[in-house]
Amino acid sequence: MIQPAHKTIFAVGAHPDDVEFGCGGILLKEAEKGTRIHILVCSKGESGTNGSAEERVAESEEAAKMLGAELRFIDLGGDGKIEATKNNALLIAQVVREVRPQIVLAPTDSSNQHPDHVAISNLVRDASRMARYGGIDTLAAHEAHEIEAFYQFAITPSAEFGALPDILVDISDVHDKWLKLMQCHQTQLQTRNYLELQESRARVWGLQCGLEFAQGLYSNDPLVTSEVSDLPPTARVF
């Protein structure tokens, strides 16, 4: 199989802002090296305390422009009503087949967070698996596709129970741009200082491995290599 010149990352969030807050720095780094970024948002945030659906869609569009990302929305029942059903997983699997990414990102499945995040985590995991099964008739419009890796990102401070992620990504050089990316979602900054919450966590994770700022990913499966010497260095935990 011929490998594409640049890989594609498919990042999925339950609401507008989930992806930018949870892994925006990582996506900025990847975009700079030519990785294609596709973002799927599974509601318009219409049940949130601040911001109308129209405002939140516009904010997502602004952030996608900054990332140079393809953006689409999908209706899985509405904000606060997303369920991890087989039908919803098939709808996302259809998008996986269309986008054909190598890497898929979704929120962590920790129960101590917004229930939509948990549902999306499980849906994207299942969808990535079903996208590779050639015999599913409802997905027949597009050729089966097998991804290379599925990773999870933390959105809320409680999502990872304080543990260091499996993978830490140095985002120090895109820190300022990441702040601007999150600031696209002005409606969500009216009640809580989400920027400080995200920046503080990135600062702590960075300090724990000798960096300025780092964002984390959790691996759904063991990482595989043929040579241990090819592995990147581990975090320097003090």
Indicate the range of 41-45, 67-71, 159-163 predicted with least confidence.
159-163
Task: Give residue 15's pLDDT band: very low, low, confident or very high (50, 70, 90).
Answer: very high
- What mean pLDDT, rounded, does the chain reach? 92
Give whole-number Cα distances, 208 to 168, 179, 200, 220, in Å: 10, 21, 12, 22
Give the pLDDT of residue 160: 59
Mean pLDDT value of segment 151-176: 85
- What pTM was estimated for this model as a whole? 0.94
> Of 120, 153, 123, nearest to 14 (Cα)?
120
| Confidence band of 111 (pLDDT split at 50, 70, 90) | confident
Nearest Cα to Cα of residue 64 among 34, 42, 31: 31
**What is the distance between the alpha carbons of residues 58 and 192, in angstroms, rounded to a whole number?**
20
pLDDT of residue 158: 64
61-70: average pLDDT: 98
Instruction: Annotate 63-77 with b (16+ C-beta within 10 A) or e (fewer).
Output: bbebbebebebeebe
Of the pLDDT bands very low, low, confident and very high (cuts 50, 70, 90), residue 1 is very low
pLDDT band at 94 (very low <50, low <70, confident <90, very high): very high
What would you report as the CA-atom Rg of the chain, rounded to the nearest whole angstrom? 17
pLDDT, mean of residues 16-35: 97
Q: Which of 193, 151, 131, 197 is nearest to 27 (CA)?
A: 151
Domains detected in the chain: 8-230 (3.40.50.10320)
pLDDT value, residue 4: 62
Euclidean distance between CA atoms 146 and 148, whole angstroms:
7
Rounded mean pLDDT, 66-94: 97
